[in-house]
A = this chain, B = another copy of it.
Amino acid sequence: MQVEHTVSDYDEDLRFLTQKISAMGGQAERMVERAIDALIRSDHKLAETVVADDIVLDNGQRDIDEKAVLVIVKRQPMAQDLREIIGAIRISADLERIGDLGKNIAKRVSVVTEYRQPVSFYRGLQALTDLALTQLKFVLDAYSTRSISQIEVVRDRDDQTDAKYTSLFRELLTYMMEDPRNITPCTHLLFCAKNLERIGDHATNIAETVYYISTGEQMPIERPKDDTSHEVTITKG
């Protein structure tokens, strides 16, 4: 009985980590969705909600870190279980950072909406958001099912996210060239776009961690992990 009891407590400890990660994942998705929504619809109230919600992810990461260390000390886990725990530490750090990036987008809402633009202006940003959030949902599903059969797909999709970011970078720079009144809002939108591109990178990190949890190996073949926006030059035509 003693042993059974211990094992079940142990399972509960691991379940705590998994469930907390899923909750953080849902929260991170919601924050990013709402931040972009607030930006496009000039919804200051919604933006404030996003900024206030960030603390939930900060606390989530802290809880996971503390629990993880406690479980390692108490249970002295081996192999797969230890990977689960180390994986939870890593993924929660990525999710906390995604929350920061969402919050940073939300904080730019008031400046950007001073220079209100038609919704079509944000089409590129919305498309980039959709790509990044699809990635995030996909890797969170992979985490909850521990399924790595499709995980390589994440990297290809990250290339698409990078390409979309680079084209949006070019587009925003063009708007700035066309009219100096666009410089302030477009600069802030450039940073929003960069944040979305980074969210895609964090999703890819999570995919790599899921792979590591399931296999004990690092994911093969180094991904280039970078967009090409650093090469973009726009000259007045």
Contact = CB atoms under 8 A, between A and B. Distances in A.
Interface in A91-108: 93, 100, 104, 107-108
Nearest to A225: B100
B234 A183 contact: yes
A67 interface: no
Interface of A: 58, 62, 65, 68-69, 72-73, 76, 78-79, 82-83, 86, 89-90, 93, 100, 104, 107-108, 110-111, 114, 173, 176-177, 180-181, 183-184, 187-188, 190-191, 194, 218, 222, 225-226, 230-236
A109 B180 CA distance: 25
Contacts of A190: 187, 190
Copies of this chain assembled into the complex: 2
A99 B233 CA distance: 24
A82 B72 contact: yes
Q: Is the interface of A mostly helix, strand, loop or mixed?
A: helix
A234 to B, nearest CB: 5
Given A100-B225, A176-B183, 9 more contacts: A107-B226, A107-B230, A173-B183, A176-B176, A177-B180, A184-B234, A187-B187, A188-B230, A191-B230
A108 B230 CA distance: 5
Nearest to A169: B187
A96 to B, nearest CB: 11
A83 B66 CA distance: 11
Contacts of A181: 236
For the complex of A and B, 6 pairs with smallest distance between CB atoms: A107-B230, A76-B76, A108-B230, A176-B183, A184-B233, A184-B234
Contacts of A65: 86
B83 A69 contact: yes
B184 A230 contact: no
A40 to B, nearest CB: 17
23 contacts: A62-B218, A68-B86, A69-B86, A72-B82, A73-B78, A73-B79, A93-B93, A104-B230, A107-B230, A108-B230, A110-B231, A111-B230, A111-B231, A111-B232, A173-B183, A176-B187, A180-B236, A184-B233, A184-B234, A184-B235, A187-B187, A188-B230, A191-B194
